[in-house]
A and B are shown apart, each in its own frame.
Chain A
Amino acid sequence: MNKASMIWIDWKLAGKSLAREWMNRFFMFFLLGGFLLLLLASHGINRFLSEQWVVNAVLRLNVSAAEGAGIASKARKLPAVRSVVYKDPEAAWSEFLADYPGLESLRLEGDNPVPGYLHIRLLPERLTAEDIAGVENALKPLPQVEKVFTGAKTLPRLLKVRGWVNLSLWVLFGILSSILFFMCVLQEAARARALRADFSFLAERGVSHAAIMTGRAVGSALVAGLLVLPAIGAAWLLSIAAAGRFPILSSVLGPVEEVVRSGGFPFVVLYLAAVPCLIFVASLYGWRASKIQTHRK
């Protein structure tokens, strides 16, 4: 018997139960792939924090709306900056009145007493002490800028907590991957045990155990390779559909397209390559765990 025909031996011997097994695995690949995409798109909790964390640059009272808009467009060009919202003095005055109604009299005696300001949000992956300091250093020397509020005092503790949370999320991903791996090992071992008589039949007629073992492992890896791509594709499409329906997801988890922009694509490729490799190893372990004897006692 040639080795190529050993690749699909499990399908030939137990096609129906194997199909059910692979449906479960497809679902697991989908869940795990979806989790990875969300991790990459959200950068852990970086996106959530970058949405909440705002650097405010208060402009001087005499800065005109045109000057303020010019500073805002310069701030947008800073590498760590994701978005800049400029509120000119009139808009700032309106906000002030909305927050403190009844203080219109403050303006009767002269010009607008409320200065314009910039709301600056950073890119999720650039929310670091260095990048925040970089934004501050870029704006502070400008004569039109009165003060820059970065929240620098509380930032280090927050970043520390963020680091631990992000690490925990990746550890969780690792645990889920390990669970999938051991589930596959158990499935492979159970199937090898169930087909033990058939494998013995083949071995007694000249098909070596090594050929059966490697053939099964290669077959499993090939099927895993064929399924993991549509599984992660389905997770990708579902993320896009969910973000379209629930916009809040986009702000917390981020658009999935972000994975490509922020350099997460190699991780996806690594996942696509790692899953078939892990399934290959799971099949070999499963064979060993089934304790099929290679020689007659």
Chain B
Amino acid sequence: MLEAFRVGMIGRSGTLFDGFEAAFRDGDIWLVTGPPASGKSRLLAVLHGDGRPDAGDVMFDGVPLYRGTPDAASRFRSTAGLVDEMIDAGEHSVGELFRLASLVAGGVPETERKAREAALLSMVGLPGSSDYAFRSLSMSEQVRASLAIELFRGPRVLLLDAPFARIGKEWTEMLSALFRALAREGRIIVFTEREIPPLFPMKPVKESTRCGPFLLTQLAAGSSVEAVG
């Protein structure tokens, strides 16, 4: 379980958010919506263990990421994946990023890496894109490639910054289905959007709750029909 306790962040123009509290259980899908410049990306970085909050703490399975042992955040990041809004992959090709991901995973044999890489890229609709420079991909392709790269390590927690806004309508259904499948495997999925996209295929489990500038909505991990029911 990933929990945020009274997390606060101060931006250049003052307090971004304060007293943010949430508990994301295994198998949950959560959507965090908020207006532009409300600190959604900063919140994801904090939840990812990659941006120390000015107040509060984040705990994963009862272990504090920031006010506990120094390497707690690093250990958490090894089990979590973050698909940023701004993806800086330098000059790397998609295949090279998979190679880096395999190094993080402790060194996966070349043949196994290539097989998994091909399967994941096919799953996100990018078969045969290994040799393409990451920056040459379209925004939608970058989001999908990034997601595939993060999934390579099989993260327990997946954090995504505005994925539906960038992925394009034609891939919305695929991404929703993927989120549900991952949640059914017990993974925690938290993603941000400015607002709930129109014709969004995932249904809320219950009423959204407001937490500072953010609106937190838990989405159904089962099929949309089950969720509505």
Contact = CB atoms under 8 A, between A and B. Distances in A.
Interface string B75-101: 111111110000011101000010011
Interface in A77-119: none
B18 interface: no
Interface string B99-122: 011011111000000000000000
B82 A12 contact: no
B104 A202 contact: yes
Question: Interface SS of chain A: helix, strand, loop or mixed?
Answer: helix
Contacts of B101: 205
Contacts of A12: 103
B74 interface: yes
A2 B88 CA distance: 25
Contact of B50 (A1, A5, A13, A204): A204
A240 to B, nearest CB: 43
A1 B51 contact: no
A204 B80 CA distance: 9
A9 B107 CA distance: 10
B153 interface: yes
Of listed B88, B100, B101, B105, residue having the most chain A CB within 10 A: B100
A27 interface: no
Contacts of B131: none
Interface residues of A, number: 19
A202 B77 CA distance: 10
Contacts of B104: 1, 201-202, 205-207
B52 A295 contact: yes
Interface residues of B, number: 28
B77 A296 contact: no
B106 A2 contact: yes
B51 A205 contact: no
A12 B105 CA distance: 14
Interface string B21-55: 00000000000000000000000010010111000
Contacts of A13: 100
A205 B88 contact: no
A201 B100 contact: yes
B135 to A, nearest CB: 11
A5 B71 contact: no
Contacts of B100: 13, 198, 201-202
A1 B76 contact: no
Interface of B: 45, 48, 50-52, 71, 74-82, 88-90, 92, 97, 100-101, 103-107, 153
5 contacts: A1-B78, A13-B100, A206-B78, A206-B104, A296-B50
Given A198-B92, A203-B74, 8 more contacts: A1-B107, A5-B103, A197-B90, A202-B100, A203-B77, A205-B101, A205-B104, A296-B45
Q: 5 tightest A-B contacts by CB?
A: A206-B78, A206-B77, A197-B90, A208-B74, A205-B104
